[in-house]
Amino acid sequence: MTDKNETVIALLGQPNSGKSTLFNALTGLRQHVGNWPGKTVEKKEGRFTHNGKEYLVADLPGTYSLSANSDEEMITRDYIASGKADVVCILADSSQLERSLYMLADYAGITVPCFLVLNMSDVAADQGKKVDASALEKKLGIPVVLLSAPNTKAYDGFYSALERAVKDKTSLNAEALEKRFEELDTYRNIKSMIPENVIPSYSATWLATKAVEKDAPVIAKIKAALPDGARSSFEAAVDAVDKGVVFTGERKFAWIDELLEGTVNTKKTKVSLGKFDRLITHHIWGKPVVVLTIVLGLIASFIPALPFMGIGQAIGKLPDPLNEALLNIGCPAFLAAIICDVILRCLSFIIQMLGFVFGVTLVFGLLEEIGVMARISYVFDNTMAKFGLQGKSVMPFLISFGCTMGGAAGTRVIDNWGQKVLTIALAWAVPCGAAWAVIPMLSTVFFGAWTPVIIVVILLVMILHMWLTAKVFGRSLVKVEDRQGMIMELPPYHKPKWGSLLRYVFGRTKDTFLRAMKVVVLVAFVFWLLSYTSTGTITDSILYKVGTFIEPVTKIFGLGWQTFMAFIASSLGKEGALGVLSTIFTGSGTISVGSMVSGTTAANINELLVANVSKPEALALIFAMTFNMPCIVALAATYQETHSVKWTARIALYYTGVALLLAGIAYYVGLLIW
Amino acid sequence: MKKLSELEKDAEGVIASVNGDARFISRITSIGLTPGCHVTVIKNEKNRPLLVYSRDTMIALNKAECAQIEVEGGKKA
């Protein structure tokens, strides 16, 4: 119970048990996502009401067992031990009970009330498996319910199992499993030494099993609870065990087999890979098929994005006439400028980008639900492991060629927070669609036929940048001891359920919109203040004064104050850089957020650029812009996905620094050439 | 006795032993690969994880690590 009198349910299950689908179905939009205190692990909580009762759902991190090998597992264990949960909902995959009941077996001996959800009952039924939930219920002593989590219309069984577990405080009957453990002398020996109440709600059976498994935190707890004289004999008993995990693991699976005997009817079928699986896992065709799948997914993302883009563009047309109208009715110029130039233009920009986030979340959420993402992970595992990432990270990287914000949204399918943040950090180095629109054009103006060479160099620098960034941030985000080879199940393909998927996608899009709006308006407002002048000439703005004041420093990186302004503008939006240069060189109008994101340029911009910027300076600007922070919306999306101000700021500062550094290198190389 | 990583496509066998550090053993146990467990190799190709089928589940395994799993049998079915 919380102090608000909510019943607390903790969801416990292995990855791919459909835990997040159940969590989303239960809590809908009433979710809060954050991090576990001091840990790089995502914490999800949500609320729902049923039969007039309030429930708080804690989505525990997806882990394979309750051992102590990772932060995720420790958090899960500590949460259950904390007594915060009134009931633990354990999930298993009905189509793979032989394996997925392991979590239940690992839970045996914990006295916190629980019930068992056999998820993906539809997949099991399709495979011709019949599961007798009531027979299992008798054997286990806890409510057992078959469920297809995406089918939110059929949740009655789930709710009644939940209510029974809460009312009767049902705890798992683990006697049969205990008997199997008793076969081992060392287990009996260790168990006899364990004192009362080492960890509340964790029984001597559970503690002894973990001690046999050489679980360091449990052993330490037991030792601390033992009287001085008993410690050494306990240590000796633990030391005498060899490969305890294998021993208890065998017993747990034997217990599962015994449970399933007579409760599950399976038609034994010979396994083979389906047509698509044979293609996607092919040693030559696999990678091209994955890249093609992602590119097609990217194109498909544009279809749901189009309405958003239309709305965004329509809003983008409002500021000019509205500004005029406001001035006509006597509204102060600065107020009109804030409304039109800051708020409306930001809104237009964000809504257009948001369409892309919506599309990417929908299409790649769909691929995840169907089971395609797991295959992508398999195909790119070897390549991405070099960066400390999982194979799925290839998808956000490819999406980032289109839009970094979309790439950041795409990292949702990565279940490890550290790897997710690292993927976003690396994806920033991938030049986005806006950069590809600006850079080749800029490069052609200055370097003509050499443009392809510059593009190749940019791509090479990108790879080097990603490699370096993985080195810089990798160690703290993905600990070396957490980097292990792939051990992952490839789930069977699932039919998507559109209702729950769409609800989830709309929820995430709304969250992204609110958060992006806050960040973007704030940054745009600050920038607007800095560039605002009452006279209309840029030389009166704070930005100009600061720019010219620090010019001696920016010159080191090959950027004069004008190109430095363009560089700053490119961190808000790449298209804006040209607009800014245009404004400065024509000496007309002010730099505004409007010119920043819409990128309006003078007709003779090419001649102006060549006349005002030398070739080495141009090269410096090209690299500074390409590898700068992608845009403010990408910054906001990064914050939204990582929910860490610290990491978002760290990545942004790092990119600004590296972009200047690259500009400097490009400048001096340019000086040598020309 | 053969290493799991050496088994060819379509080979079947029974796991005889699992070796390696505690973390690996714990992880491999939790996904269901324990001694006595029946495995079928679905795919074994260069520079890709091994694909095996066991306990009703298709599992992708890093090659270096499944050299630590020993299998009895291992003949093509």
Co-location of A160 and A184 in the same domain: no
pLDDT at A536: 65
Q: Does A241 touch chain B (CB under 8 A)?
A: no
At A70-111, the pLDDT tens digits run 888 999 999 999 989 999 999 999 988 999 999 999 999 999
* Cβ neighbour number for residue A669 with a 10 Å cutoff: 16
pLDDT score of B49 more than 80: yes
Nearest-angstrom CA–CA distance, A285 and A605? 46
What sign has the CA pseudo-torsion A34, A383, B30, A195? negative
Residue of A64, A243, A491 with shortest CB distance to B25: A243
Read off the pLDDT of residues A606-645 as tens digits, 9 standing for 90 and up. 888 888 899 999 999 999 999 999 988 899 999 988 988 9
Bridging pattern class, strands B2-3 and A144-146: unpaired
Do residue A132 and residue A207 come from a single domain? no
My answer on whether A254 and A112 are in the same domain is: no
Contacts of A271 in chain B (CB under 8 A): 40, 42, 53, 58
Report residue A345 as tokens. Answer: 């233009």
**DSSP letter (8 states) at residue A388:** T
> Measuring CA to CA, which residue among A380, A446, A72 is closest to residue B30?
A72
Amino acid letter, residue A563: T
Is A622 within 8 Å of A659 (Cβ atoms)? no
Q: What is the CATH number of the domain that holds A68?
A: 3.40.50.300
**Is A97 at the interface with chain B, CB within 8 A?**
yes
Please tell me whether residues A240 and A126 are part of one structural domain.
no
pLDDT of the residue at A600: 61
Task: Tell me, yes or no, whether A281 lies in a domain.
Answer: no
**A594 confidence band (pLDDT: 50, 70, 90):** low
Same domain, A191 and A71: no
Whether residue A156 sits in one domain with residue A65: yes
Cβ-Cβ contacts under 8 Å for A526 (sequence gap 6 or more): none
Instruction: Tell whether A193 is within 8 A of chain B (Cβ).
Output: no
> Nearest chain B Cα to A269, which residue?
B56
Q: Could you tell me if A488 lies within 8 Å of chain B, comparing CB atoms? A: yes
**Residues A59, A110: one domain?**
yes
A495 vs A145 pLDDT, higher one: A145
What token pair was written down for A384? 């991405």
> What's residue B77's pLDDT?
65
pLDDT-based confidence at A323, cuts 50/70/90?
confident
Residue partners of A67: CB distance under 8 A and separation at least 6: A73, A106, A210, A213, A215, A245, B26, B30
Q: Which two tokens stand for residue A216?
A: 């360091």
A562 band by pLDDT with thresholds 50, 70 and 90: confident
Q: Encode pLDDT of A279-307 as tens digits.
A: 888 888 989 999 999 999 988 988 988 99
Select from A612, A624, A611 the least CA-distant residue to A665. A624
Q: Shortest CA distance to A238 belongs to which of A218, A255, A256, A253?
A: A218
Verify that A15 and A159 share a domain, yes or no: yes
Q: State yes or no: pLDDT of A270 exceeds 80.
A: no
Interacting residues of A406 by C-beta distance below 8 A, sequence separation 6+: A298, A301, A356, A357, A359, A360, A399, A400
Reported as a single tens digit per residue, the pLDDT across A509-554 is 888 888 888 888 887 788 778 877 776 677 778 888 888 899 999 9
A259 in contact with chain B, both atoms CB, cutoff 8 A: no
pLDDT tier, A260 (very low <50, low <70, confident <90, very high otherwise): very high
Residue in chain A nearest B40 by alpha carbon: A271
Asked if A380 is an interface residue toward chain B (Cβ–Cβ < 8 A), one would say: no
Gyration radius (Cα) of chain A, Å: 29
Residue A230 has pLDDT above 90, yes or no: no
Give the tokens for residue A87. 């009931």
Q: Would residue A98 count as lying in a domain?
A: yes
Residues of chain A positioned with their CB less than 8 A from the CB of B65 = 484-485, 487
In chain A, pLDDT over 90 holds for what percent of residues? 43
Range of the domain at A186: 177-265
Residues A128 and A244 in one domain: no
Residue contact B49–A486, C-beta within 8 A: yes
> Is the distance from CB of A571 to CB of A628 less than 8 angstroms?
yes
Q: State chain A's mean pLDDT as an integer.
A: 88
Into how many domains does chain A fold? 2
For residues A34-44, average pLDDT: 81
Which of A230, A265, A300 terminates a domain? The answer is A265
pLDDT at A596: 56
Give the residue from A585, A548, A584, A568 showing the smallest Cα distance to A660.
A568
**B40 to chain A: which residues are within 8 Å by CB?**
271
Angstrom distance (rounded) from CA A152 to CA A175: 35
- Looking at the fold, whether A122 and A199 belong to one and the same domain comes out as no
Q: In a 10 Å sphere around its CB, with 0-12 CB exposed, 13-18 middle and 19+ buried, how is residue A452 labelled?
A: exposed
Q: Are A54 and A5 in contact (CB under 8 A)?
A: yes
- Pairing mode, if any, of strands A114-119 and A53-59? unpaired
Q: Is A388 on the interface with B (CB under 8 A)?
A: no
Q: Name the pLDDT band for A365 (thresholds 50, 70, 90).
A: confident
What is the set of domains in chain B, with CATH numbers?
2-76 (2.30.30.90)
Q: Return the structure tokens found at A587.
A: 């000496």
C-beta of residue A110 within 8 angstroms of C-beta of residue A202: yes
Q: Is a pLDDT exceeding 80 seen at residue A269? A: no
In a domain, A169, yes or no: yes
Q: How many CA atoms lie within 13 A of A655 on its CB side?
A: 30
- Asked if residue A243 belongs to a domain, the reply is yes
Residues A13 and A120 in one domain: yes
Residues 6+ apart with CB under 8 A from A229: none
Confidence of residue A588 (pLDDT cuts 50, 70, 90): low
Nearest CA to CA, how far is A104 from chain B (Å)? 11
Q: Please report the pLDDT score of residue A146 as a whole number.
A: 95
pLDDT at A1 over 80: no
A566 against A668, higher pLDDT: A668
**Structure confidence by residue, pLDDT tens digits, A385-442:** 888 898 889 999 999 998 899 899 889 888 788 899 999 999 999 999 889 888 998 8
Paired residues of A12 in beta bridges? A90
The overall longest dimension of chain A from CA atoms, in Å, is: 91
Measured between beta carbons, the chain B residues lying within 8 angstroms of A249 are: 29-30, 34
In this predicted model, what pLDDT tens digit does every residue of A188-222 receive, in sequence order?
999 999 988 788 889 999 999 999 999 999 999 99
Model pLDDT for residues A464-483, shown as the tens digit of each residue: 999 999 999 998 888 876 67
Q: Tell me the backbone φ, ψ of residue A203, rounded to 5 degrees.
A: -75, 165
As for the ipTM of the complex, it is 0.92
Taking CA–CA distances from A65, the nearest residue in chain B reads B30
User: Does the residue A235 lie in any domain?
Assistant: yes
Boundary-marking domain end, from A173, A208, A233: A173
CATH number of the domain encompassing residue A246: 1.10.287.1770
How large is the average pLDDT for residues A127-145? 92
Q: Is residue A592 in some structural domain?
A: no
Report the alpha-carbon distance of residue A245 to residue A238 in Å, rounded. Answer: 12
CB A55 within 8 A of CB A68: no
Q: Same domain, yes or no, for A162 and A242? A: no
Please name the member of B22, B31, B54 whose beta carbon is closest to the beta carbon of A245.
B22
Whether residues A484 and B24 touch (CB distance < 8 A) is answered with: yes
What's the CA gap between A396 and A640, in Å, rounded? 15
- In eight-state DSSP terms, residue A93 is E
Asked if the structure places residue A24 within a domain, the reply is: yes
Question: Rounded to whole angstroms, how far apart are CA atoms B32 and A149?
Answer: 24
Burial class (CB in 10 A: 0-12, 13-18, 19+), A444: middle
> DSSP letters of chain B?
-EEGGGPPTTEEEEEEEE-S-HHHHHHHHHTT--TT-EEEEEE--TTS-EEEEETTEEEEE-HHHHTTEEEEEEEE-
Asked if A567 is an interface residue toward chain B (Cβ–Cβ < 8 A), one would say no
Q: Is residue A313 part of a domain?
A: no
State which of A234, A265, A296 marks the end of a domain: A265
CB of B16 within 8 Å of any CB in chain A? Answer: no
Specify which residues A50 forms β-bridges with. Answer: A53
